[in-house]
Amino acid sequence: GDSVTQMEGPVTLSEEAFLTINCTYTATGYPSLFWYVQYPGEGLQLLLKATKADDKGSNKGFEATYRKETTSFHLEKGSVQVSDSAVYFCALSEGGSQGNLIFGKGTKLSVKP
Amino acid sequence: GAVVSQHPSWVICKSGTSVKIECRSLDFQATTMFWYRQFPKQSLMLMATSNEGSKATYEQGVEKDKFLINHASLTLSTLTVTSAHPEDSSFYICSAGPLRETQYFGPGTRLLVL
């Protein structure tokens, strides 16, 4: 079945450092790919998404490119801030729906001042 | 933006009792809501799809008699954990959206069964 594998955390960075959180997927069809963020004490929020190969999703300085050849959707940000400290989840969904999401295990990011 | 609420945010109960968790969409109607379960340091696992006015669709391995889902209105879905046992202790999260393509997550309900 479909699955998502993302790098295990926790990840600790200094402010203004470059961030990469790796995410790879296995899917039988052509899934949509998502990154969700969960700030402490809050629910999951959609950070960005891409619905087809070579699409780049971006939001709040974060980017991820849908790479079909490597089945990857790595999350990157050029300069992290303390306020980016959260848990990040990679997810996929078949057919473009955000329902029936399959999540990775989540990566906790801590950014130190 | 759209808001999805859950109640209660946390609950402690004795083994053998039943617990009801509510998921509400506050500013939109949702014909479909989704229930997830999250174990510590693990990913969210989809439990079931809640359909307004009809039976829920459960994922493989989820006991429908254990986790009762009722979607009685376009803004409310409830998950009842029946005869809860310690192994049911977990973090339960719902999502809802005006469209299946756009989902908003509730803040979650932490259940501890003693």
User: Which range has the worst mean pLDDT, A48-52, B86-90, B93-97, B102-106?
Assistant: B102-106
Phi, psi of B71, deg, nearest 5: -120, 75
The pLDDT mean for chain B works out to 91
Q: Is the pLDDT of residue B100 over 70?
A: no
Q: Residue A100 and residue B107: Cβ atoms within 8 Å?
A: no
Provide the pLDDT confidence category of residue B24 given band limits of 50, 70 and 90. Answer: very high
Q: What is the pLDDT of residue B2?
A: 64
Residue of A nearest to B6 (CA): A43
Find the CB nearest B100 among A4, A97, A104.
A97
From the CA of B73, how many Å to the nearest CA of chain A? 19
For residues A8 and A80, what is the distance between their CA atoms, to the nearest angstrom? 18
Q: Which of B5, B38, B44 would you mutate first to test chain A, the one with the most A CBs within 10 A?
A: B44
On the question of a cis peptide bond just before residue B8, with omega within 30 degrees of 0, the verdict is yes
**What's the mean pLDDT in B75-104?**
90
Residue of A nearest to B96 (CA): A99
More confident of the two residues B39 and A85: A85
Q: What is the pLDDT of residue B72?
A: 83
Q: Give every CB contact of residue B61 below 8 A, 6+ residues apart in sequence.
A: none
Are A44 and B93 spatial neighbours (Cβ–Cβ below 8 Å)?
yes
**What's the mean pLDDT in B58-69?**
94
Q: What is the pLDDT of residue A73?
A: 98
Q: Is the pLDDT of residue B42 over 80?
A: no
Are B4 and B25 spatial neighbours (Cβ–Cβ below 8 Å)?
yes
User: Which range has the worst mean pLDDT, A11-25, B33-47, B56-70?
Assistant: B33-47
* Per-residue model confidence as pLDDT tens digits over A17-73: 999 999 999 998 889 999 999 988 778 899 999 999 999 999 999 999 999 999 999
From A18, A20, A1, A12, select the one nearest A90 (Cα to Cα): A20
